[in-house]
Chains A and B, each alone.
Chain A
Amino acid sequence: MSPALIAALPFLGAALPSLLIRTGRNNAAGVSAVITGLALLGLLLHLPTTLAGGVVETRIDWLPWLGLNLNFWIDGLGMLFATMILGIGLLVILYARYYLSNKDPVGQFYTYLLLFQGAMVGIVLSDNILLLLVFWELTSLTSFLLIGYWKHLPAGRQGARMALTVTGLGGLSMIAGMLILGQIAGSYDISEILRHKDAIQASPLYIPALLLILGGAFTKSAQFPFHFWLPHAMAAPTPVSAYLHSATMVKAGLFLMARLWPVLSGTPEWFYIVSTVGLITMLIAAYIAIFKHDMKALLAFSTVSHLGLITFMLGLGTQAGALAAVFHIINHATFKAALFMSAGIVDHEAGTRDLTRVGGLRKLMPITFAISTIAALSMAGIPFFNGFLSKEMMLEAAAHTVWLDNYWIVPAMATLAALLSATYAFRFIHHAFFGEVATDLPKTPHDPPMGMWLSPAFLVVLVLAIGIFPMAVAGPYVQMATNAVVGGGYHMHPLKIWHGFTPALYMSAIAVLGGILFLTAHGPCQRVWDRMPRPEAKVMFDWVVGRVQLGADRLTQGLYTGAMARYLMLFALAAVGAGLYAFSTGSMGPQTRALTPVNGAAVTAWILLLTATMCIVAFHHNRILALVLISIVGLIVSISFVYLSAPDLAMTQISVEVVTAVLMLLALNFLPKVTKIESSRFKISFDVCIAVIGGVAVAGLIYALMTRDFAFPPMSGYMLENSYNLAGGDNVVNVILVDFRGYDTYGEITVLGIAALVIFALTEALLQGASSRKLIAWRPDVARGGDKHPLLLLVATRVMMPIALVVGLFIFLRGHNLPGGGFIAGLIVAIALVMQYMASGFAWTQARQKVYYHVLIASGVLVAGITGAGAFFGGLPFLTSNFGYVKLPGLDKFELATAAGFDLGVFLGVVGSVMLALGGLSRLARRAAMGEHDGEEGAHIAAEKPEARVLAPLSAGPYPPEAKVPRRWWRTARAAREATTAERDAVHANKIKTQEEDH
Chain B
Amino acid sequence: MEVLVASAIGVLTAAGIYMILRLRTFPVVVGMSLLSYAVNVFLFASGRLVVNEPPILRDGVTSYTDPIPQALVLTAIVISFGMTAVAVMLALGAFIEAGDDRIDLDAQEDEQ
Complex: how many Å from CA A696 to CA B83?
Answer: 26
Complex: how many Å from CA A707 to CA B6?
Answer: 10
Q: Is A871 an interface residue (CB 8 A)?
A: no
Set B3, B51, B79: member contacting A643, Cβ < 8 A: B51
Q: List the count of A-B residue pairs having beta carbons below 8 Å apart.
A: 328
Q: Is A585 an interface residue (CB 8 A)?
A: no
- On whether the beta carbons of A775 and B96 are closer than 8 Å, the reply is yes
Nearest-CB distance from B97 to chain A (Å)? 5
- On whether the beta carbons of B1 and A565 are closer than 8 Å, the reply is no
Complex: how many Å from CA A56 to CA B111?
Answer: 73
- On whether the beta carbons of B78 and A703 are closer than 8 Å, the reply is no
- On whether the beta carbons of A914 and B81 are closer than 8 Å, the reply is yes
The A-contacting residues of B in range 28-76, CB under 8 angstroms, are: 28-30, 33-34, 37-38, 40-42, 44-58, 64-68, 70-71, 73-75
| Interface size counted on chain A using CB atoms at 8 A | 121
- On whether the beta carbons of A644 and B50 are closer than 8 Å, the reply is yes
Which residues on the A side are within 8 Å of B80 (C-beta)?
656
Q: Check A706/B45 contact, CB under 8 A, given A691-B14, A733-B71.
A: yes
Complex: how many Å from CA A763 to CA B28?
Answer: 21
Q: Check A561/B22 contact, CB under 8 A, given A649-B44, A762-B90, A771-B97.
A: no
Nearest-CB distance from A668 to chain B (Å)? 7
Stretch from A142-150, A679-687, A794-802 contacting the other chain: A679-687
- On whether the beta carbons of B68 and A648 are closer than 8 Å, the reply is no
Q: Check A660/B33 contact, CB under 8 A, given A595-B1, A678-B23, A733-B71.
A: yes
Complex: how many Å from CA A644 to CA B78?
Answer: 20
- On whether the beta carbons of B93 and A598 are closer than 8 Å, the reply is no
| Interface size counted on chain B using CB atoms at 8 A | 91
- On whether the beta carbons of A762 and B93 are closer than 8 Å, the reply is yes
Complex: how many Å from CA A6 to CA B40?
Answer: 56
- On whether the beta carbons of A561 and B106 are closer than 8 Å, the reply is yes
Which residues on the A side are within 8 Å of B95 (C-beta)?
670-671
Between A598, A691, A696, A702, the greatest number of chain B beta carbons within 10 A of the residue's beta carbon is seen for A702
Which residues on the A side are within 8 Å of B34 (C-beta)?
613, 616, 630, 633
Complex: how many Å from CA A596 to CA B50?
Answer: 8
The B-contacting residues of A in range 590-607, CB under 8 angstroms, are: 593, 595-598, 602-603, 606
Complex: how many Å from CA A736 to CA B47?
Answer: 15
Q: Check A714/B49 contact, CB under 8 A, given A563-B109, A664-B29, A702-B9.
A: no
Complex: how many Å from CA A644 to CA B40?
Answer: 14
Which residues on the B side are within 8 Å of A367 (C-beta)?
none
- On whether the beta carbons of A649 and B21 are closer than 8 Å, the reply is no
Which residues on the A side are within 8 Å of B10 (C-beta)?
695-696, 698-700, 702
Set B28, B91, B96, B105: member contacting A563, Cβ < 8 A: B105
- On whether the beta carbons of B2 and A733 are closer than 8 Å, the reply is no
- On whether the beta carbons of A596 and B2 are closer than 8 Å, the reply is yes
Set A698, A730, A745, A775: member contacting B38, Cβ < 8 A: A698
Q: Is A988 an interface residue (CB 8 A)?
A: no
Stretch from A453-461, A540-548, A917-925 contacting the other chain: A917-925
Set B17, B67, B106: member contacting A695, Cβ < 8 A: B17
- On whether the beta carbons of A733 and B55 are closer than 8 Å, the reply is yes
- On whether the beta carbons of A702 and B67 are closer than 8 Å, the reply is no
Q: Is A564 an interface residue (CB 8 A)?
A: yes
- On whether the beta carbons of A748 and B44 are closer than 8 Å, the reply is no
Q: Besides the contacts A640-B5, A671-B91, A730-B57, what 17 more A-B pairs have beta carbons closer than 8 Å?
A: A565-B20, A609-B8, A610-B11, A617-B19, A626-B27, A646-B70, A647-B56, A663-B88, A691-B13, A694-B17, A696-B14, A698-B42, A744-B75, A759-B86, A774-B96, A917-B82, A917-B89
Ordered by A's residue number, 12 sampled pairs between the chains whose C-beta atoms are within 8 Å are: A563-B105, A603-B4, A644-B65, A652-B78, A667-B89, A672-B26, A678-B111, A694-B13, A724-B57, A737-B71, A737-B74, A775-B96
Q: Measuring CB to CB, which residues of chain A are less than 8 angstroms from any residue of chain B?
A: 561-566, 568-569, 572, 593, 595-598, 602-603, 606, 609-610, 613-614, 616-617, 620, 623, 626-627, 630, 633-634, 637, 640-641, 643-649, 652-653, 656, 659-660, 663-664, 667-668, 670-672, 675-676, 678-680, 682-683, 687-688, 690-692, 694-696, 698-700, 702-703, 705-707, 709-710, 714-716, 719-720, 723-724, 730-733, 736-737, 741, 744-745, 748, 751-752, 755-756, 758-759, 762-763, 765-766, 770-771, 774-775, 817-819, 823, 827, 910, 913-914, 917-918, 920-921, 924
- 9 nearest A-B pairs in the assembled complex, by CB-CB distance: A562-B105, A699-B10, A695-B14, A755-B82, A596-B1, A703-B6, A691-B18, A736-B71, A732-B67
